[in-house]
């Protein structure tokens, strides 16, 4: 199908919120030309609703902009048909939008826009581009019986994969229709847990694909009678914790990976060491942005998850793992993000922290250093984020302020109303709150 708006009945206007899901509305294709020219108004807190949909009443929305809308302007190069499973007898497309304030300026509080601004800094200041990919762990369970789909903790079992693959590959085919490129698929350690790895992509595309997958897989599985689990830690006693590991490298205009120094025993260049030092330095502040729910901190206490702001060569127990491929290519894997993250905030925080390390030529700590422990709760992580002035300024002061407000008002204060609960009772509250968000 020629992907022009005239070929569709309705167009879905969408943006990505701070929780990593799409938000927006359907408009008729007949209204679309005016929207291209003038934008489409939606409530300014669109990206900042509470995780179960609560209206954000931060003073910024009431006083600073007087309840004005933001305007969504379609990015026409992203227009494409929706998954066939959701179209039915209709012709429906979707298009990503950039958000603009009433004065026409870009909204710095939009997570995708914040990431794009940092990508532009990476290019203009350092002449570099990022190539990256996410690994997405998630669960599939029957929505009526709560039974896991095929996999029963047999990691990498080809027998389990063969039993599941017809259904799972149908899902992969469906999300591929909307531009999500999946490279690897396998069963994981947890009950009903699977992992997909996305193709390596340049710039914003890796974050776009991963965020799109969260919504698209949720919708596909829901329509087939299953739940897609993106809650970070659903059944901790069964080892069911989901991460969204993020791997990346940086490349110059000559096609050279600037992390590589073949003369160094670690293969890691001086530039790469400063970049990695920036990541380690800002890890406490980054943690809230990339492990953003109360429930996420169960995962950071689980086997295989990092406990410290540290790094090492080829070591899965650290926050950052430097990986060396047989051909000598080097990339960094960030193992902190949970499945509850916004991929755009992962990208933004990675760029902000890394560039600060390079600008200030920060020294890289020794491998496996255990002097800085990760925040143990969401509140402690938010306090670290508040204290990290450099990180806040680099990402977007407005975005970070609204993020912190959202998390404190809609999650921390909400959970405080439950009073004293056992760990088992608290986990049930977390599941009630986080399990079915989209």
Give the pLDDT score at 271: 98
> In this model, does residue 3 exceed pLDDT 60?
yes
Average pLDDT over residues 181-206: 92
pLDDT in tens, 325-351: 987 899 999 999 999 999 999 999 999
Rg, Å, the chain Cα set:
21
pLDDT at 2 over 60: no
Are 198 and 209 in contact by the 8 Å Cβ rule? The answer is yes
Q: How far apart are CA 285 and CA 292, in angstroms?
A: 11
pLDDT of the residue at 161 = 80
Distance CA 298, CA 302 (A): 6
Q: Nearest Cα to 260, choosing from 328, 334, 314, 350?
A: 328
What is the tens place of the pLDDT at every residue in 110-159? 999 999 999 999 999 999 999 999 999 999 999 999 998 886 667 777 88
- Whole-angstrom distance, CA of residue 231 vs CA of residue 138: 8
Q: What is the mean pLDDT of residues 89-101?
A: 95
Question: Cα–Cα–Cα angle for 373, 374, 379, nearest 5°?
Answer: 125
On average, the pLDDT of the chain sits at: 93
CATH number of 5-107: 3.10.20.70
- For residue 152, what are the β-bridge partners? 191
pLDDT at position 66 is 61
* DSSP helix/strand/coil, 292: coil
Q: How far apart are CA 182 and CA 185, in angstroms?
A: 8
pLDDT cut 90: percent of the chain above it? 80
**pLDDT for the residue 350:** 98
At 1, is the pLDDT very low, low, confident or very high (cuts 50, 70, 90)?
A: very low
Taking CA atoms, 70 is separated from 39, 47, 53, 111, 374, in Å, by 9, 10, 18, 14, 36
Q: pLDDT value at position 57?
A: 83
Q: How far apart are alpha carbons 281 and 125 in whole angstroms? A: 21
Q: Which two tokens stand for residue 25?
A: 């509305």
Cα 164 to Cα 93: distance, rounded to the nearest angstrom:
29
pLDDT tens-digit series, residues 258-308: 999 999 888 999 999 999 999 999 999 999 999 999 999 999 987 778 999
* Predicted pLDDT of residue 301: 81
Rounded to an integer, the average pLDDT of 199-224 is 97
Locus of tokens 């992962």: 346
CATH code reported for the domain at 117-135+194-203+231-434: 3.30.590.10
How is the chain split into domains, by residue range? 5-107, 117-135+194-203+231-434
Percent of the chain whose pLDDT exceeds 70: 97
Per residue in 44-93, pLDDT (tens digit) is 889 999 999 898 888 888 766 666 899 999 999 999 999 999 888 899 99
Q: What is the model's pLDDT at position 304?
A: 76
Mean pLDDT of 373-387: 98
Return all residues near 229 (Cβ < 8 A) that are at least 6 apart. Answer: 138, 139, 140, 141, 192, 240, 242, 339, 435
8 Å CB contact between 39 and 72: yes
**Cβ partners under 8 Å of residue 47, min gap 6:** 15, 16, 17, 18, 23, 99, 109, 110, 111
Predicted local confidence at residue 313, as pLDDT? 95
DSSP structural state of residue 105? -
CB 296 within 8 A of CB 370: no
Burial class (CB in 10 A: 0-12, 13-18, 19+), 159: exposed
Contact 139, 152 (CB under 8 A): no
Can you tell me the distance from the alpha carbon of 407 to that of 413, in angstroms, rounded to the nearest whole number?
Answer: 9
């Amino acid at each position: 199908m020629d992907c022009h708006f005239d070929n569709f009945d309705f167009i879905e206007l969408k943006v990505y919120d701070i929780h990593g899901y799409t938000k927006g509305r359907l408009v008729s294709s007949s209204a679309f030309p005016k929207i291209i020219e003038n934008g489409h108004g939606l409530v300014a807190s669109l990206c900042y609703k509470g995780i179960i949909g609560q209206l954000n009443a931060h003073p910024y929305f009431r006083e600073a902009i007087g309840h004005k809308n933001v305007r969504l302007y379609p990015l026409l190069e992203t227009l494409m048909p929706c998954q066939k499973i959701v179209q039915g007898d209709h012709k429906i497309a979707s298009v990503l939008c950039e958000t603009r304030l009433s004065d026409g300026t870009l909204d710095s509080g939009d997570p995708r826009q914040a990431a794009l601004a940092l990508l532009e800094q990476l290019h203009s200041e350092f002449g570099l581009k990022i190539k990256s990919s996410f690994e997405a762990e998630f669960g599939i369970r029957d929505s009526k019986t709560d039974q896991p789909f095929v996999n029963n903790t047999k990691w990498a079992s080809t027998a389990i994969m063969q039993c599941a693959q017809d259904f799972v590959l149908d899902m992969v085919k469906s999300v591929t229709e909307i531009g999500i490129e999946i490279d690897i698929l396998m069963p994981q350690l947890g009950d009903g847990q699977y992992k997909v790895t996305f193709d390596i992509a340049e710039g914003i595309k890796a974050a776009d694909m991963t965020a799109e997958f969260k919504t698209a897989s949720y919708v596909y599985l829901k329509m087939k009678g299953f739940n897609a689990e993106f809650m970070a830690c659903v059944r901790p006693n069964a080892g069911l914790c989901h991460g969204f590991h993020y791997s990346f490298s940086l490349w110059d205009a000559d096609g050279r990976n600037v992390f590589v120094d073949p003369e160094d025993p670690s293969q890691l260049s001086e530039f790469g060491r400063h970049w990695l030092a920036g990541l380690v330095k800002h890890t406490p502040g980054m943690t809230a942005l990339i492990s953003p729910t109360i429930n996420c901190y169960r995962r950071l206490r689980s086997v295989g998850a990092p406990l410290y702001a540290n790094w090492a060569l080829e070591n899965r127990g650290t926050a950052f793992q430097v990986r060396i491929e047989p051909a000598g290519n080097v990339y960094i894997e960030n193992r902190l993000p949970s499945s509850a993250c916004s991929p755009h905030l992962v990208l933004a925080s990675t760029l902000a922290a890394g560039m600060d390390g390079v600008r200030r030529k920060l020294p890289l700590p020794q491998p496996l250093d255990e002097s800085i422990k990760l925040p143990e709760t969401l509140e402690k992580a938010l306090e670290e984020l508040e204290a990290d002035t450099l990180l806040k300024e680099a990402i977007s002061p407005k975005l970070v302020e609204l993020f912190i407000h959202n998390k404190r008002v809609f999650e921390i204060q909400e959970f405080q109303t439950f009073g004293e609960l056992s760990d088992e009772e608290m986990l049930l509250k977390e599941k009630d709150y986080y399990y079915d968000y989209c």
